[in-house]
């Protein structure tokens, strides 16, 4: 049976030797940030379970999704599954959308084991810590925030689950970053237009697939819960929140319920962000927490982000790639795979067969006009269909042997950009670059080249060697 929640996933990781337990008491700073930075530096980065943190009651887990091994196990695949195979497995699972959740009663919802409705003190429950040295405070960086469209409270598909950075600013007060293009900002705008608070539930220690989907750019009226069910191959279990009529995961560790205060903006940040640099202080929204429900001995799951690669890069890798792949594939069926793993799709590699001369550029331009590619993607590299876009040495081979810089490199100045990209100037504007590393086809002309072939029986021997290596372990 597949894992049902974070705890069961952690047991699976432990069985697969992908989890390390730290039993001695550690200091919140600088150790917890340092652990989060160190774990993904390892080739097969383990999750790290910190049992005891000085001054706190509860334990913490970091780097749950911080390696391709853990990522494969999350998808219920063997831990040595290649990235390209994981990409295609995810593509197959995507077809199963929607798998509707089931609602369980409170007695079957572990997250309701404990309820706190007065004297809220986040520090009592969460072992909070400074993630990077010059963050403006202690951040909750892996909480899925649930909210509803105030104009369509009964439309389950418009209920949103998204991971947004959350700064703790008081015992019961947190700040949240809702960028205008985030789904929660749509909910918030509608609430603020009528000066109403927006009820939210911040869910922590979730099924890893829910966190994965809450980090995925999907359409406004698509449900993260229905997608989580599809990827799990089983419905996710939900239960009603204490207030605000929200649907929250029944098996999560901790749920913080509160309201976004309408029409209030207070200083938040800086915060070390996914491009590997700090994003500065801004005036942002605040949430007053009024209720906490949690499992007994709750596990605080948090995320370290630093100069790539760290855990966040795995949460923004294949789930960023897949929607782009599917959008391209609709009009350009020759596209084989899309690797948008670099800094949330700021860098993208597309593998495609060319239908006609200049096709690679056409595919790249389509990518740059997709909803995600338009603001995010800056550097688009297009390679032939036989080049694995997840294999960077192969991509470098294509760049070094196929690109004619005077014809194949295109710049599009003053286009939309991603404000968190520190090279975006002014913030939100960017020059796009297309590098077409495909082999020219008619009517374009290139020098004749005869490619080397893969020897017969290579697949057989690859499989043989893989098995032999597995036995050794």
Partner 1 sequence: MICPRCDSDAAELLVKAPVENAWEVYLCDACNFTWRSTESEEITDPARYDRRFKIDPLSIPDLPVIPPIPKLVK
Catalytic residues: 273
CB of 159 to partner 1, least distance (A): 19
Q: How far is the CB of 36 from partner 1 (least distance, A)?
A: 17
Instruction: Return the residue matching tokens 């993607």.
Output: 377
Residues in contact with 93: Cβ distance below 8 Å, sequence separation at least 6, in sequence order? 75, 230, 231, 233
Nearer to partner 1 (CB atom), residue 269 or residue 440? 269
Rank residues 120 and 250 by Cβ distance to partner 1 and give the closer one: 120
Q: Among residues 365, 356, 367, which one has the least CA distance to residue 320?
A: 367
Nearer to partner 1, 282 or 329 (CB): 282
Contact 284, 52 (CB under 8 A): no
| Spatial contact of 39 and 47, defined as CB atoms under 8 Å apart | yes
Coil, strand, or helix at residue 138? strand
* Shortest Cβ 300–partner 1 spacing (Å): 13
CB of residue 286 vs partner 1: minimum separation in angstroms? 9
HSE-up (13 A, CA, CB side) for residue 305: 23
The smaller minimum CB distance to partner 1, of residues 133 and 407, is found at: 133
In 233-386, which ranges are continuous DSSP H helix? 311-315, 318-331, 359-368, 373-376
Contacts to partner 1 by CB under 8 A: 27-30, 54-57, 121, 123-124, 130, 133-134, 136-138, 167-171, 175, 177-180, 185, 188-189, 192-195, 263, 265-268, 270, 278, 281-285
When computed from its CA atoms, the radius of gyration of the chain, rounded to whole angstroms, is 23
> Judged by CB, which is closer to partner 1: 290, or 402?
290
Query: CB atoms < 10 A from the CB of 94, how many?
Result: 17
**Residue placing its CB nearer to partner 1 in the complex, 31 or 80:** 31
Q: From the CB of 265, what's the least distance to partner 1, in Å?
A: 5
Burial, 458: exposed, middle or buried (Cβ in 10 Å; 0-12, 13-18, 19+)? Answer: exposed
Residue 311 near residue 304, CB atoms below 8 Å: yes
- Closest distance to partner 1 from the beta carbon of 157 (Å): 22
3-state secondary structure of 83: helix
CA distances from 77 to 63, 70, 73, 212, 396 (A): 18, 10, 5, 15, 29
- At its nearest, how many Å lie between partner 1 and the CB of residue 411? 28
Beta-carbon contacts of residue 222 (< 8 Å; ≥ 6 apart): 97, 157
Give dist(CA 227, CA 95) in Å, integer.
Answer: 10
Token pair, residue 184, equals 């929660």
Secondary structure class of 287 (helix, strand, coil): strand
Pick between residue 56 and residue 68 the one whose CB is nearest to partner 1. 56
Give the C-alpha separation, 29 to 425, whole Å: 34
Question: How far is CA 366 from each of CA 370, 390, 429, 472, rounded to the nearest angstrom?
Answer: 7, 20, 18, 46
């Amino acid at each position: 049976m597949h894992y049902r929640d974070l705890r069961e996933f952690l047991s699976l990781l432990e069985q697969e030797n992908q989890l390390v337990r730290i039993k001695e008491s550690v200091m919140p700073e600088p150790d917890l940030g340092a652990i989060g930075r160190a774990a993904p530096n390892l080739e097969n980065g383990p999750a790290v379970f910190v049992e005891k943190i000085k001054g706190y009651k509860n334990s913490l887990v970091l780097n749950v999704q911080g390696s391709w091994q853990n990522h494969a196990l999350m998808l219920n695949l063997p831990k040595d599954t290649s990235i390209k195979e994981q990409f295609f497995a995810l593509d197959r699972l995507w077809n199963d959308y929607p798998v509707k959740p089931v609602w369980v009663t409170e007695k079957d919802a572990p997250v309701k084991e404990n309820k706190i409705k007065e004297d809220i003190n986040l520090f009592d429950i969460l072992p909070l810590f400074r993630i990077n040295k010059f963050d403006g405070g202690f951040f909750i960086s892996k909480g899925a925030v649930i909210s509803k469209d105030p104009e369509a409270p009964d439309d389950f598909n418009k209920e949103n689950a998204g991971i947004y950075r959350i700064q703790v600013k008081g015992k019961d007060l947190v700040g949240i970053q809702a960028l205008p293009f985030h789904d929660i900002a749509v909910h918030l705008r509608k609430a603020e237009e009528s000066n109403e608070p927006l009820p939210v539930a911040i869910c922590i220690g979730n099924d890893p697939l829910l966190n994965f989907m809450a980090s995925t750019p999907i359409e406004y009226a698509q449900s993260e819960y229905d997608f989580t069910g599809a990827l799990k191959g089983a419905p996710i279990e939900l239960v009603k929140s204490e207030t605000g009529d929200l649907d929250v995961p029944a098996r999560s560790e901790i749920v913080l319920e509160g309201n976004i205060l309408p029409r209030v903006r207070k200083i938040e940040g800086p915060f070390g962000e996914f491009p590997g640099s700090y994003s500065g202080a801004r005036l942002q929204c605040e949430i007053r927490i009024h209720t906490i429900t949690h499992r007994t001995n709750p596990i605080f799951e948090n995320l370290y982000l630093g100069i790539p690669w760290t855990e966040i890069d795995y949460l923004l890798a294949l789930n960023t790639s897949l929607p782009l792949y599917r959008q391209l594939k609709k009009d350009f069926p020759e596209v084989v795979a899309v690797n948008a793993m670099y800094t949330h799709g700021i860098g993208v590699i597309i593998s495609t067969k060319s239908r006609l001369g200049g096709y690679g550029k056409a595919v790249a331009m389509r990518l740059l006009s997709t909803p995600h590619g338009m603001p995010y993607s800056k550097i688009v590299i297009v390679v032939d269909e036989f080049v694995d876009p997840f294999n960077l040495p192969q991509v470098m081979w294509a760049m070094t042997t196929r690109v004619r810089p005077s014809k194949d490199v295109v710049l599009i100045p003053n286009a939309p950009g991603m404000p968190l990209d520190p090279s975006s100037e002014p913030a939100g504007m960017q020059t796009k670059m297309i590098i077409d590393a495909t082999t020219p086809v008619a009517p374009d002309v290139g020098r004749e080249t005869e490619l080397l072939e893969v020897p017969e029986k290579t697949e057989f021997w690859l499989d043989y060697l893989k098995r032999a290596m597995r036995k050794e372990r």
